[in-house]
Chain A
Amino acid sequence: MALLEVSNVTKRFGGLTALNGVSFSVGEAQIHGLIGPNGAGKSTMFKNVAGFYTPTEGSIRFAGQEISGRLPHHIAELGVVRTFQETTLFQELTVLENVMVGTHIEGKTGLVSAILGLDRKRQAAARARVMETLDFMGLTDRQDQLASELPLGSQRALALAIALASKPKLMLMDEPFAGMNPEETNHMMDLTRKVQASGVTIVLVEHDMKAVMGLCEYLTVLNFGEVLAEGTPADVRNNERVIEAYLGGTGH
């Protein structure tokens, strides 16, 4: 059984149909790519899976459970976490504090416990997880820096770290490679593989073809809200309709 099953999802905003009958499935421990020209509906798809939108039609099943229409934090508790386009971090908090927020699911505490300090054990466990994640992402040295002060590559790694700290089973990565130079791209690709190796399934929305072809085992191509093609990178690369969609003037 696939970990994530998107079946016939349609999303309409008033008169605009952003997604039309999109289906794909993602197997465990895979890296699945979701690509397509700008405006194809990739981010919209993510928002539907993560609970920020509710599909107008169709179903989304995660580990056999229907998750469409649930609230974002509920879906996160089930193990689905997304990262955001354009670096989204808690700018005025330190790197350590940023990742700490990521451990919310296991580390959260009630008001009384917080005041009385009864949650010491839980916070220590959360902190250990934070250090572990920082180490995994190579951010340990920067732990006391403010998120707003980090260079781009580290900021993206931090975004990944926050998501990772919540022990997700499925991670939706929204254009993590945007604006990166080749060196940063390679580093990020390594981190992504590392995350996959640790047992996390990944769905990747991305324009950077090097990253896409280098990381993804399977691709779904969207265009104008519909599935244009799917298959392995090799299949998709040579697909005429895909080539036409990208070269037809709507490319990145």
Chain B
Amino acid sequence: MIGLTVLFAGLIILPHFLAYHHQDLLIFTTINVLAVCSYRLVTLTGEWSLIHAVMMGVGAFTAALLFLEFDMAMWFTVPLAGLVTAAIAFVLCFPLLRMTQFYFLIASFAAGETIRLTWVEFVGIFGGTGGLVGVEPPIVGEIDFLDPIPYFYLTLAVVTVCLFLLYRIEKSRVGLTMHAIHWKAPLAESVGVNAWRYRALALVTGSFFVGIAGAMKVHYLGSVTPNQFGIGFMVFILIWVIVGGYTSFAGPVIGVIVLTIFDESIRSFEEVRPAIYGAVLILSILFLPAGLEGLPARLRVWFGIGNKHADPKLTEH
């Protein structure tokens, strides 16, 4: 509890010490934390979907359309974006959840790509490859949320609430049941668990939160294009989750933060960046399968302290 308070205090002071560009980065990193934690909920039931990045785009496009077409303020576009994204995810559950593992992966990829191509194709509504521009956050009295520091506090508040909800879900019986499906779905079904319903719940809820993340992003960035939420961003999400680790709630958060800092440090290697990430992915999978969150335990083993059998991930299954 003390740790969290310190963290918060730190976060509140932080933007005042940062350059403009880094303030932007702080906002986007916070949004990405929400994106990746919502992805973790989806993978809790054991299925890795490739549609999550696109769903964030669904949230972004929804918020943008609501703002541009209906003059709706951000206070409404963000929650509505979440709901619309959740609704679309719900509809997709019916075809997608008929499959598991490899087929689900490919089907989710196909569904995501279809949505993305729809944005590209229907230029009249979605703006084609250029996307939509001109989205703005509101001005409340003296505060213009277009400025980074107010927007950061807003984002921090929204993301904190969302993370709190995600955490509560995971620790509740609902989360336990999702875990159970991940490990042994037939066993769970034999005691009355409707596996389909819980998979759907994970997908829909995860999509709700990532839709909100998308809406938060578009209101600051001002524009949304189909390419922002394609396989490139999906890979980032995967990298954050894999490098950070996904057995604990904090793992993906660590992943986002560490990799964002890392990303900044290789900014000068613009051309080569995707290759560096490719290498990072490969090295992570091969040498750090439990992710960064598993690093303390792993280090303990390497230095001969502690029990090798304490971390199940270290022993080959």
**A and B touch in their complex, CB below 8 angstroms:** yes
Enumerate chain A interface residues (CB-CB to B < 8 A).
50, 52, 71-73, 76-77, 81-84, 88-93, 97, 100-102, 104-105, 107-109, 111, 114-115, 117, 119, 123, 126, 146, 148, 162-163, 165-166
Q: Mark B169-181, 1 if CB is under 8 A from A, else 0.
A: 1001111110110
Residue of B nearest to A164 (CB): B191
State which of A52, A114, A146, A163 has its C-beta within 8 Å of the C-beta of B191.
A163
Residue of A nearest to B174 (CB): A114
Bound: A119/B312 CA distance, A? 32
Q: B184 contacts A88, CB within 8 Å?
A: yes
Shortest Cβ distance from residue B249 to the other chain A in the assembled complex, whole angstroms: 15
B183 within 8 A of A: yes
A-B contact pairs, 5 of them (CB 8 A): A76-B189, A76-B191, A89-B187, A93-B180, A108-B193
- Which residues of A lie under 8 Å from residue B3 when comparing CB positions? none
Q: B177 contacts A76, CB within 8 Å?
A: no
B188 within 8 A of A: yes
Bound: A76/B165 CA distance, A? 30
- Per CB-CB distance, the 4 closest pairs between chain A and chain B, nearest first, are A114-B172, A76-B192, A105-B192, A72-B189
Chain B residue total in the interface (Cβ 8 A): 26
Shortest Cβ distance from residue A11 to the other chain B in the assembled complex, whole angstroms: 18
- Which residues of B lie under 8 Å from residue A146 when comparing CB positions? 312
Bound: A148/B183 CA distance, A? 12
Bound: A71/B197 CA distance, A? 13
Q: A90 contacts B183, CB within 8 Å?
A: yes
State which of A84, A97, A119 has its C-beta within 8 Å of the C-beta of B187.
A84
A72-B312 contact in complex given A77-B192, A100-B176, A104-B192, C-beta closer than 8 Å: no
Q: A115 contacts B176, CB within 8 Å?
A: no
Shortest Cβ distance from residue A203 to the other chain B in the assembled complex, whole angstroms: 14
B195 within 8 A of A: yes
- Which residues of A lie under 8 Å from residue B273 when comparing CB positions? none
Q: Mark B92-126, 1 if CB is under 8 A from A, else 0.
A: 00000000000000000000000000000000000
Could you tell me which residues of chain B, from 168 to 214, have a CB within 8 Å of some CB in chain A? 168-169, 172-177, 179-180, 183-184, 186-195, 201, 205
Q: Mark B138-175, 1 if CB is under 8 A from A, else 0.
A: 00000000000000000000000000010011001111
Q: B179 contacts A90, CB within 8 Å?
A: yes
Q: Mark B219-243, 1 if CB is under 8 A from A, else 0.
A: 0000000000000000000000000
A72-B165 contact in complex given A162-B191, A163-B191, A166-B191, C-beta closer than 8 Å: no
Shortest Cβ distance from residue B44 to the other chain A in the assembled complex, whole angstroms: 12
Q: A162 contacts B187, CB within 8 Å?
A: yes
Bound: A115/B187 CA distance, A? 25
Q: A89 contacts B168, CB within 8 Å?
A: no
Q: B190 contacts A72, CB within 8 Å?
A: yes
- Which residues of A lie under 8 Å from residue B312 when comparing CB positions? 91-92, 146, 148
- Which residues of B lie under 8 Å from residue A84 when comparing CB positions? 186-187, 190
Shortest Cβ distance from residue A219 to the other chain B in the assembled complex, whole angstroms: 24
- Which residues of B lie under 8 Å from residue A72 when comparing CB positions? 186, 189-190
Residue of B nearest to A123 (CB): B173
Shortest Cβ distance from residue B306 to the other chain A in the assembled complex, whole angstroms: 16
Q: A71-B194, A105-B191 are in contact. List 19 more A-B contacts (CB 8 A).
A: A52-B186, A73-B189, A76-B189, A76-B190, A90-B183, A90-B188, A91-B312, A92-B312, A100-B173, A101-B177, A104-B177, A104-B188, A104-B191, A109-B172, A114-B169, A114-B172, A114-B173, A162-B187, A165-B191
